[in-house]
Amino acid sequence: MVRRPAGDQGAVPLPGPRAGLAAAGLAVLAVVGSDFAASVQDWERSPGVWAWLAAAVTAGALAWWRVAPVVMLAAVAAGTSAYLLGGYAPGPVLLCMVFATFQVARVRALRVSLPACGAAAAVVVAALLVNVADQSSLAVIISIAWVNWLLLPWSLGTLVQVRTVAAARLRTELVERGALEERARVAREVHDVAGHGFSVIAMQAGVALLVLDDDPAQARESLQAIRTTSTEALSDLRVALSMMQAAATPGLDGLPRLAERVQGAGLSVVLHMEPVPDLPEALDAAAYRVVQESLTNVLRHAGQARAKVQIVHENGTLLVGVDDDGTGSPNHSDGRGLTGMRSRIEALGGTLTAGPGDEGGFRVRARIPVPEGAER
């Protein structure tokens, strides 16, 4: 699971390079658009350095739309208000508030988005009223239109947020239900296999204790029976556990079914499988487990994301890759799942790497040598 270092808990994270470039482009458009808006509306005060600076800062704040949406909304509201209080013509800079309102409502709960967006809208409306104070009729019309204009993106964002939370809850329930069902199945199998043997052992031990002093020969027979029964019970238990492991671990042929189940939980999965030769059972099962554990981690930790699974056989090596575009951080720690996957792959002579992707999200790569002439 991805964790932020303890020393960074209070810091505002920096946006990614793509978000920064996009915000820079929007800042240029906002500056150019402010001049165009003033010319079209025949505004008395032409934009100058301060108008351009306010427009650029407002649009530039959108770079934080993913990593710090509430901070981004506050900066956009402040920049928009500064622009309007300067007496400049309303222009594209106002559209920044529309996007900021939608984003906060989309990723934050109602108890956070409602007061945050309401306060930001109130500040901007107040600045807008000051901007058109000398035109009373226009001020009323603009205020009503502006409030309704912000209400629409907030409503749409809230709807998306509610659906996202519901989907995440469903994914969590499916993961937990699957784990619970697996534990119950294992418990039933162990009970069926070992229950009879342990009952016989308990009975024979009781007989041995009862006749130990009066009939040592009978006690010896009971102890011998305990030894035989326990050996057979342990052997049967090992066989049952081996059968359970084989049944619970399909090979690469089971990936389409796995992808369907994961998609049913709300995660979009693209599966790309190139033809591979017949693989040993251990290798086939290990490759499946890497994909299964990786997709489970995406369901648990990545939020709204898409995953891509690639299976390629190249120069005697099986390559297994799983990428997602969910939320992530350069800092991560291996949990039990990643540790277990790495141990399984290394036992087969392969390697496994896991960490943030170059363009965000998370990436898992396994390289497993395929023995020459090996068959399932």
12-38: pLDDT as tens digits: 667 667 767 777 777 777 777 666 766
pLDDT digits (tens, 9 = 90+) for 110-148: 888 889 988 988 888 888 777 766 655 555 666 666 667
pLDDT digits (tens, 9 = 90+) for 48-64: 678 778 878 888 888 88
Report whether 74 contacts 44 (CB < 8 A). Answer: no
Q: Start-end ranges of CATH 3.30.565.10 in the chain? A: 252-369
Residue with tokens 């915000």: 23
Question: What are the structure tokens assigned to 217, written together?
Answer: 């020969």
Instruction: Provide the whole-model pTM.
Output: 0.50
Q: Start-end ranges of CATH 1.20.5 in the chain? A: 176-248
Report whether 120 contacts 100 (CB < 8 A). Answer: yes
Q: Which residues of the chain have pLDDT under 50?
A: 1-9, 329-330, 375-376
Alpha helices in the chain (DSSP H): 17-40, 49-60, 69-85, 93-107, 110-131, 136-211, 216-248, 255-264, 281-301, 336-347
Which of 258, 254, 235 is closest to 246 using CA atoms?
254
Architecture of domain 176-248: Up-down Bundle (1.20)
Q: For 252-369, which CATH class?
A: alpha beta
Using CA atoms, how far apart are residues 202 and 120, in angstroms rounded to an integer?
73
